[in-house]
């Protein structure tokens, strides 16, 4: 395994792989890797097969963070990530800096972004208005740089995965998008790099997200009739905010195909929620 930090060097490698007809799988990450990321690496390796190439990008993308968010303190440990990637059988770690990915941005000389205008308007798009503009831009750039045949994303970021799939479809990008299942701790908390922020009682209280999902699933599956979304959301909010450090950002039931909010909830509906545990904002989702 080796690490590439320059866009031009990564593109040279990509062209070389293409001439050799090697299958290339990309796992885009912001680093501080955990078992959830490694499950995506495993899926990429299985899909490209032993003769293929697996690339993990490690880049904390500034354009998907809004004012006052945790860009400066987002956990970073490249040496640790390199070790985990090496042990997982990754072929190349692509770890560029801001000057490589957004040349001239600080001086106003970078001005091109990729914007999805429909799926990005709800849920995370409402709470974090420019977030998905940053996501689609950096993913499109990574696809142009690495030139993968396939890319693997996690289902924990359900809306992000749907938007990337829409971008690929709309822009005719020759990249197959694979969505791998959410990986959870034994107590149900979805794995996230931001879990590092949770200490002591905050970590215990964070399980409220999973308990809310379980309650919603049990309620929906135990009813023979569609349920009012407003009533069920109020029940989940009460359950979550019973925890002293918990504050709900949003709870939404939606159509998984369109991401549009639902007035009534039944089997096949999807739930997404964003919750602050102290100062740490966590997201999760699940089907009903």
Mean local confidence (pLDDT), 77-101: 98
Cβ neighbours of 214 (radius 10 Å): 13
DSSP alpha helix (H) spans, the chain: 7-19, 35-48, 78-87, 98-101, 124-127, 131-146, 158-170, 201-205, 208-221, 229-241
Domains and CATH numbers, the chain: 2-180 (3.40.50.620), 193-287 (3.30.1300.10)
Mean local confidence (pLDDT), 169-182: 98
Q: For position 270, what pLDDT does the model report?
A: 98
Q: For position 105, what pLDDT does the model report?
A: 94
Q: For position 50, what pLDDT does the model report?
A: 84
**pLDDT, tens digit, 9 for 90 and up, residues 42-83:** 999 999 998 999 999 999 999 999 999 999 999 999 999 999
Which residues, 6 or more positions from 273, have their beta carbon under 8 angstroms from its beta carbon? 209, 212, 213, 236, 240, 248, 249, 250, 251, 252, 283, 284, 285
Nearest alpha carbon to residue 228 among 216, 211, 214: 216
Which residues, 6 or more positions from 282, have their beta carbon under 8 angstroms from its beta carbon? 190, 192, 194, 195, 206, 209, 274, 275, 276
Helices (H) and strands (E) in the chain, counts: 10, 11
**In angstroms, rounded to a whole number, what is the distance separating the alpha carbons of residues 130 and 58?**
21
Q: Is residue 37 flagged as an active site residue?
A: yes
- Kindly state the percentage of the chain with pLDDT values over 70: 100
**pLDDT, tens digit, 9 for 90 and up, residues 101-119:** 999 999 999 999 999 999 9
Which residues, 6 or more positions from 121, have their beta carbon under 8 angstroms from its beta carbon? none
**In angstroms, rounded to a whole number, what is the distance separating the alpha carbons of residues 54 and 70?**
29
Inform me whether the pLDDT recorded for 16 exceeds 90. yes
Torsion angle defined by CA atoms of residues 65, 30, 5 and 14, in that order, rounded to the nearest 10 degrees: -110
**In angstroms, rounded to a whole number, what is the distance separating the alpha carbons of residues 128 and 164?**
17
Torsion angle defined by CA atoms of residues 199, 61, 123 and 216, in that order, rounded to the nearest 10 degrees: -40
Q: For position 184, what pLDDT does the model report?
A: 98
Instruction: Kindly name the residue from 2, 34, 37, 242 that is annotated as catalytic.
Output: 37
Token pair in block for residue 97: 């800096």
Nearest alpha carbon to residue 55 among 177, 149, 135, 138: 149
Over the chain, what is the mean pLDDT?
A: 97
Mean local confidence (pLDDT), 162-190: 98
Q: In residues, how long is the chain?
A: 288
Q: For position 173, what pLDDT does the model report?
A: 98
**pLDDT, tens digit, 9 for 90 and up, residues 234-282:** 999 999 999 999 999 999 999 999 999 999 999 999 999 999 999 999 9
- Kindly state the percentage of the chain with pLDDT values over 90: 99
Q: Is the pTM of this model over 0.75?
A: yes
Mean local confidence (pLDDT), 189-209: 97
Token pair in block for residue 24: 């290339």
**pLDDT, tens digit, 9 for 90 and up, residues 123-152:** 999 999 999 999 999 999 999 999 999 999
């Amino acid at each position: 395994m080796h690490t590439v930090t320059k866009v031009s060097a990564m593109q040279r490698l990509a062209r070389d792989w293409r001439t050799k007809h090697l299958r290339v799988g990309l796992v885009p990450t912001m680093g501080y890797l955990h078992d959830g990321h490694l499950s995506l690496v495993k899926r990429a390796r299985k899909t490209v097969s032993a003769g293929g190439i697996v690339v993990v990008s490690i880049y904390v993308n500034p354009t998907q963070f809004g004012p006052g968010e945790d860009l400066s303190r987002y956990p970073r440990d490249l040496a640790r990530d390199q070790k985990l990637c090496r042990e997982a059988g990754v072929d190349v770690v692509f770890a560029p800096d801001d000057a490589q990915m957004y040349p001239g941005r600080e001086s106003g000389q970078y001005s091109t972004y990729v914007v999805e205008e429909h799926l990005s308007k709800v849920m995370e798009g409402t709470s974090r208005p420019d977030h998905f503009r940053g996501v689609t831009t950096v993913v499109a750039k990574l696809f142009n740089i690495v030139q993968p045949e396939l890319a693997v994303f996690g289902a924990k970021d359900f809306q992000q995965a749907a938007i990337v799939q829409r971008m690929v479809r709309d822009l005719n990008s020759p990249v197959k998008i694979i969505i791998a299942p959410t990986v959870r701790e034994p107590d149900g908390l979805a794995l996230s790099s931001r879990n590092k922020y949770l200490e002591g009682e905050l970590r215990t209280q964070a399980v409220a997200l999973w308990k809310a999902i379980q309650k919603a699933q049990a309620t929906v599956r135990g009813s023979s009739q569609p349920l009012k979304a407003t009533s069920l959301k109020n029940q989940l909010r009460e359950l979550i905010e019973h925890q002293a450090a918990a504050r709900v950002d949003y709870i939404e039931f939606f159509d998984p195909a369109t991401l549009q909010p639902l007035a009534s909830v039944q089997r096949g509906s999807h739930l997404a929620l964003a919750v602050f545990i102290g100062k740490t904002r966590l997201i999760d989702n699940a089907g009903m």
